[in-house]
Amino acid sequence: DAKTTQPNSMESNEEEPVHLPCNHSTISGTDYIHWYRQLPSQGPEYVIHGLTSNVNNRMASLAIAEDRKSSTLILHRATLRDAAVYYCILRDVGGGADGLTFGKGTHLIIQP
């Protein structure tokens, strides 16, 4: 899997939007962009994924740059429960047998 780069930490206020960036300049045409998060004392959980178009689900939105070399996870209205480590991961469409390659992720701190 290609490498991703994320800020070590970010801080935001409760009930405000949060934009978590991820750079993946060496992404290939068959790499999907996945986001997982890990709440304290829990295993990672899936957030969202996309290939080229922006994606929305009940948890978040994923904005993908036109050249696909970067993406942004958007939490529209952060709550204290969104405090977690967020991981941006590239996964090849044919990589069914491959494990997820986690970096250190972004530690998101939410202030009340």
Partner 1 sequence: DAGVTQSPTHLIKTRGQQVTLRCSPKSGHDTVSWYQQALGQGPQFIFQYYEEEERQRGNFPDRFSGHQFPNYSSELNVNALLLGDSALYLCASSLPTGTDTQYFGPGTRLTVL
We find the least distance from the C-beta atom of residue 47 to partner 1, in angstroms, to be: 10
Burial class (CB in 10 A: 0-12, 13-18, 19+), 42: exposed
We find the least distance from the C-beta atom of residue 15 to partner 1, in angstroms, to be: 28
We find the least distance from the C-beta atom of residue 102 to partner 1, in angstroms, to be: 3
* Residue corresponding to tokens 């044919």: 94
d(Cα 69, Cα 57) in Å, to the nearest integer? 22
- Taking CA atoms, 50 is separated from 66, 93, 94, in Å, by 13, 11, 15
Closest to partner 1 by CB, 14 vs 32, is 32
Closest to partner 1 by CB, 17 vs 103, is 103
Q: Which residues here bind partner 1, judged by CB under 8 A?
A: 32, 34, 41-46, 49, 85, 87, 91-105
- Asked if residues 49 and 57 have their Cβ atoms less than 8 Å apart, the reply is no
Closest to partner 1 by CB, 48 vs 110, is 48
